Chain A
Amino acid sequence: MKNNNNKVPKLAHLFFRWYCKKEMYEELHGDLEEFFYERVKDKGPFKARLLYIWDVIRCCQSYAVRKPKTQNTTIMMLNNYFKTSTRSLLKNPLTSFINIFGLAVAIGICLTVYAFMDFEYKIDQFHANKGQVYLTTFYTNRDGSIERYGMSPAPLGELLSTDFPQIQKVCRVEESNVVVKYEDEVFHETLTYVDPSFLEMFTFPLGKGVNKSLNDLNSIILSHDMAIKYFGDDNVLGKDLEVIFSDSNKKVFKVAGVAEPFPKPHDLGFNFLIHFDNLDYARPTNDLSNWDQFITATFIQVNDPNQIAGLEEGMEKYKLLQNEKNSDWAIESFSLEPFVTLYANSAEIRKAIVYNGSAEGRIALPIIAIFMLGLACFNYINISIVSAAKRLKEIGVRKVIGASKNKIAFQFLFENIFVTLFALVLGLLLAVFMFLPWFIGISERSMELNFFNPELWIFLSIVLVFTGVVSGLYPAFYISKFNVIRIFRGSVHFGKKNPLTKLFLGFQLIMASILMTGAVMLTQNSNFQAKRTWGYDPNNVLYVELPDSSAFNRLEAQLIQNTNVVSVAGAIHHLGNNHTTTVIHQPDRKYEVDRLSVGPKYFETMGLQLKAGRFFKDHSENDHAAIVVNELFVENLNLSQPIGHVFEIDSMRYEVVGVVENFHLYNFYYEVLPTIFSLAETTDYKFMAIEVKSGAQPITYATLKKDWAVLFPEIPFQGDFQTRLWDNFYKDLQTQKTFSTTIATIAILLASLGLYGLVMLNVSGRVREFSIRKVFGAETKNIIKSVTNQYVLLTVISMIIGAPISYVLNKALIGMMFPETMQADYFGAFIAVFIIVSVLLTVVSTQIFRVVKSNPVDGLKME
């Protein structure tokens, strides 16, 4: 034992022998041993051994370590590929930059789109029971076309739970706007009435309180945001909130729970939850067992999704009940929409509780991303083919030494993936620090790239391999095919006249022209939409929402004294805010129209234009059976003599007394629909429209708010300039403009980078030729011709193909977004082509300039 303790530790010694240079072993280990023996004496063997191990580790540094001699040829080859790749990248910094930067931008865009799509597909997918929850929907015939609706007849929920044992849970949902009061503060809020099963069906965990409290009619559950809004960080549970359903209906609720913050990708959510039966209290006149009442949604939960088909069949019997009672909403069939797909399909379901507003984005963005990646890949292919000319000798030598064709191809693929890796890292940085924040800013979605999510890494590696292989495969095989003897004889000619290079460049130009045309046309369209008229005059109108039946008269009395006020009108529905739909009965068909109930002075106040007949008369009892219709209504129903025509609505007879010019009820995303106006009772007014003298809007608005505060201290003021209703719409237009212009700019940037690289390589490869031409007296224009020749024809052909394609595609896209678009003409495509051609000319001319300016002597002296 003792003997052993006085020797250096074996393992550490072996390790030292293994890494240490042979010629230095003696002196170095001598030093270590000397220390060791001394320490054995001074500090004891145990400490000495530990310290020796420590020394061995410390000595493992470059001066002592022998250089590795690897035996593995694959690794050696990879090392060599790596070295040559780095060298050739560094040798041509500009082309390398074009390649890497182009790919990085494209990958950055791909990642941003990935974040968007990832967010989109995660919306509402966090609910534990999502696979078992379904929304009841129904189909109904709207003047010949079958439409699907997401709302549900009020009695449906109760019947479903009693009639079908296979349904585990039913949850009815109704939403309404109320005023919520806490101490002295009042706010307008959206309130959700739900069956207590709501919190079991959907995964909205409560941070405070228990799910069961929803059974209590006097309990209210708040979302996280609402708890903060009303109570800040205070303890919330047990606090009283007063809900004002209407002026005569108020109820105090106790806060019984606060939900955890909702996951970011959600569409279904709530601000305030109360028990569904509170609806009886809030709307005493409504009978929820009546089939002509609709509620926002009815959800069901089943154990076994296979039962759905049977359920849908079983629900057929409700059709009769509904159709008997409410023939305007005659149901063709019921259908159950899985909650999992509800958000994705919600654009197809009318009046569904969940609404997907980004259907276009889901289609357009991935296409844009693929376009961009395509552009960058084509750049890469072109540049690597042409720049291979500079590496012919290397390829030749490799082949002579014995590299097979596959080895060479592998080398170039490897190099390519190496470059792509660079681009990937750069693209990731671009996405995280530039594209994503910008895109979040314009789309107002809080998406993110979650780096702990394995899916992201899978996506990244797919992008890496896909981009690397797609952009590298062709050049790799093209280059590896060259014949060695011809390489060394110098008779390999390529790059200049490769048809594929041209084809790829052509593709790039076409893509760029599609995106550019899109940008130009969207900009044109925005300008067009911004200049459109609304069919009435919103500029001088203010509006305000009324809390109760006496409010109109009280406020009117106040406003009449104001000299800035031109006229005041009341209405149940207000342009830009809301409407209802109703069904017109004719002998042979039923016809759905939009309906607005307004006071007699509403037309003049809003500036609606009369085309024929008259508006409603003031204080005329007869006019309660009169309607005013818009032009489209007349047109669609083919009325040759509209005035005096009689229709049946809700089993009452109405006579058309007037026709107004078509007007836009909402912003221009919505098309003009056939619309009727009927006369509203003063006590039913929900809105007041106020026409003021031009220029007096802000001051009247301020006075109005002041008057309001005096008249209705309990009710928060809710009104605005009529024109502000479209602030969001105009912002949206602006966003489209910026977005498409940015994308198009990047596309042109990529295409021109590619072209620049090509022209530059082409010109550098022909320096001698140009010099000789110059020496023999070639004129500038001849040289320009010989540089540009091959590109002119290509550009012309690409544009001839590209312009019509861009025109058609973009017209379709804009047509998808706006029902009524500008008179689209070729002008947009023409401008786009013009922009592209001028950018290309600029790019090519920089190289021409170089050739023209160069001294032929320098060109001939080379090599």
Chain B
Amino acid sequence: MGRTYLGEFEELVLLTVGVLYQDAYAVAITKEIIEQSGRSVNVSAVHKSLYRLEEKGMLESKLSDPESKRGGKRKRIFSITPFGKRALDESMDLRTSLRKQIPDMAFKWQIG
């Protein structure tokens, strides 16, 4: 099986799902990303990534109990699957290893 690639934003969503642990649903994730990264994110973008990640098998989900603050509707809570964790680890490892391979010289800028 070939590698499953993670988009940059997908990775962000995946990580945030992990951070929020039991409270990971679209609204909370959106707010968390806005707060932590300072980007302006629309909930639809988060939706898209969530369902895509679920399709890829990196997330699984179940419906919660109805809540009044959302008009008596249930919400879909997401959690990371082992495959999702592996994808995250691989991605992190790759970055770390690449970062380590950058020679020090590359960061010694000569001024002028």
Contact = CB atoms under 8 A, between A and B. Distances in A.
Contacts of B95: none
A29 B27 CA distance: 11
B70 to A, nearest CB: 4
Contacts of A27: 26, 63, 73-76
A26 B69 contact: no
Contact of B73 (A33, A35, A55): A33
A59 B48 CA distance: 9
B27 A63 contact: no
Contacts of B51: 63
Interface stretch (B8-16, B39-47, B81-89, B101-109): B39-47
B72 to A, nearest CB: 9
Secondary structure of the A side of the interface? helix
Nearest to B72: A30
Given A27-B76, A31-B27, A55 B42 contact: yes
A32 interface: yes
A34 interface: yes
B27 A35 contact: yes
A58 interface: yes
Interface residues of B, number: 20
A34 B28 CA distance: 10
A61 B46 CA distance: 12
Contacts of B27: 31, 34-35
B1 to A, nearest CB: 24
Contact of B74 (A30, A58, A59, A64): A30
A29 B74 CA distance: 10
B73 to A, nearest CB: 3
A55 B69 contact: no
A580 B79 CA distance: 102
Interface string B55-71: 00000000100010111
Interface residues of A, number: 17
A603 interface: no
A28 B61 CA distance: 14
A37 interface: yes
A63 B63 contact: no
A31 B47 contact: yes
Interface in B21-37: 25-27
A423 B42 CA distance: 44
Given A34-B69, A37-B69, A58 B42 contact: yes
Interface string A43-81: 000000000000100110101100000000000000000
Given A59-B47, A61-B48, A64-B47, A31 B70 contact: yes
Contacts of B73: 26-27, 29-30, 33
Contacts of B44: 55, 58-59, 61, 64
A55 B71 CA distance: 17
A215 to B, nearest CB: 72
A28 B47 contact: yes
Contact of B26 (A31, A58, A61): A31
A35 B48 CA distance: 17
Contacts of B45: 58
Contacts of A26: 73-74
B74 A55 contact: no
A59 B42 CA distance: 9
Nearest to A32: B43
A55 B45 CA distance: 10
A37 B67 CA distance: 13
Contacts of B26: 27, 31
A34 B44 CA distance: 14
Nearest to A59: B44
Nearest to A56: B44
Contacts of A59: 43-44, 47
Contacts of B47: 28, 31, 59, 61, 63-64
A63 B47 CA distance: 8
Nearest to B61: A27
Contacts of B70: 30-31, 33-34, 37
A447 to B, nearest CB: 51
Q: Could you say which of A26, A30, A37 has the most chain B C-beta atoms within 10 Å of its C-beta?
A: A30
A517 B69 CA distance: 87
Contacts of A61: 44, 47-48
B63 A31 contact: no
A63 B48 contact: yes
Contacts of A64: 44, 47
A26 B72 CA distance: 9
Contacts of A37: 69-71
A29 B51 CA distance: 15
A55 B42 CA distance: 8
Contact of A55 (B43, B52, B75): B43
A49 to B, nearest CB: 15
Interface string A368-397: 000000000000000000000000000000
Given A33-B73, A58-B44, 6 more contacts: A27-B63, A31-B47, A33-B70, A35-B43, A58-B43, A63-B48
Interface of B: 25-27, 42-45, 47-48, 51-52, 63, 67, 69-71, 73-76
20 contacts: A26-B73, A27-B26, A28-B47, A29-B71, A30-B67, A30-B73, A30-B75, A31-B47, A31-B70, A31-B75, A32-B43, A33-B70, A34-B27, A34-B70, A34-B75, A37-B69, A58-B42, A61-B47, A63-B47, A63-B51
Q: Considering the complex of A and B, which 10 residue pairs feature the smallest CB-CB distances, nearest first?
A: A30-B73, A58-B44, A34-B70, A30-B70, A33-B71, A27-B76, A59-B44, A63-B51, A31-B26, A34-B27
